[in-house]
Amino acid sequence: MKRSKLFTLVLAIGLAFGLAYTVSATAGNGYESVPAAAFVPKDHSYEYYNDGCRVLNPTGSAPYFVAPVDLPHGATVTKVTFYFYDDSSVGSDYASVWLGRNDHDNSFSQMADVTSNDAGDSSNQDDTINYATIDNSQYSYFLELCLNSSSVWAYGVVVEYSYSASLPLVTRNHQSAL
Ligand SMILES: [Ca+2]
Ligand SMILES: [Ca+2]
């Protein structure tokens, strides 16, 4: 190989590695998607229907459900979006969900909360987040769902987060094992 071609090859390889490094060092957004299937009733006596696409409360009483949320350590939660069905303007007919941090001392800290509107199949969001930085060395995270009526139901929740350039690639590409 001629010296000029060898130089070009070395330069191309160097640029490729440089580009790869630049891409991997970029900050960005990630998403943790929690389906209806993940929610379980708070008590074994609660009646519920859950086909994976939606969870509902057929009696309208004992309305609480919980689901785990698996977020990458060091990420910052930026938004919680709740997908629901609610077409009733009756005050007690609503669905709501909140994101909680389990403080591992039989207490929790509420990070975000979202309540349904009356728009049928719809979604609402909360982008003002408390305790937004995920610390899996000290805490664990979960959702609590309230289906206060048999005429509303939940489809799922998407938790959006941002990560910094210093967060390891293996962490920021994290996929839930739920
Ligand atoms: Ca409603
Ligand atoms: Ca909020």
Report the CATH number at residue 61. 2.60.120.260
Q: Note whether residue 101 is domain-resident.
A: yes
> 43 alpha carbon to ligand 2 midpoint, in Å?
27
In a domain, 21, yes or no: no
The reported pLDDT for the residue numbered 166 is 75
The SS3 of residue 43 is coil
Domain that holds residue 111: 28-163
- 64-to-4, 33, 42, 43, 108 alpha-carbon distances in Å: 71, 20, 6, 8, 16
Measure 131 CA to ligand 2 centroid, in angstroms.
10
Ligand 2: distance of its center to the CA of 108 in Å? 15
Considering the domain boundaries, does residue 86 fall inside one?
A: yes
Distance 59 CA to ligand 2 centre (A): 29
> Does residue 112 form part of some domain?
yes
65 Cα–ligand 1 center, Å: 18
What pLDDT was estimated at residue 165?
Answer: 78
Domain count, the chain: 1
Cross-strand bridge partners of residue 40: 66
How much is the pLDDT for 125?
A: 98
Do residues 165 and 122 touch, judged by C-beta distance below 8 A? Answer: no
Q: Which ligand is nearest to the CA of 96?
A: 1
Q: What's the gap in Å between 39 CA and the centre of ligand 1?
A: 21
Please give the Cα distance from 134 to 75 (Å, whole number): 5
The answer to whether residue 169 is domain-embedded is no
| pLDDT of amino acid 8 | 65
pLDDT the model gives residue 176: 47
Mean pLDDT by 10 residues, the chain (178 residues): 62 54 70 98 96 96 96 96 97 97 98 97 98 98 97 98 80 54
Determine the 3-state secondary structure of 11 from DSSP: helix
Residue 3 covered by a domain: no
Residue 133 lies in a domain: yes
Cα 1 to averaged position of ligand 2 atoms, centre (Å): 63
Structural domain contains residue 178:
no
Which ranges constitute the DSSP H helices of the chain? Answer: 3-24, 169-172
* CA of 54 relative to ligand 1 center, distance in Å: 17
pLDDT at 14: 54
Please give the distance, rounded to the nearest whole angstrom, from the Cα atom of residue 2 to the centre of ligand 2.
64
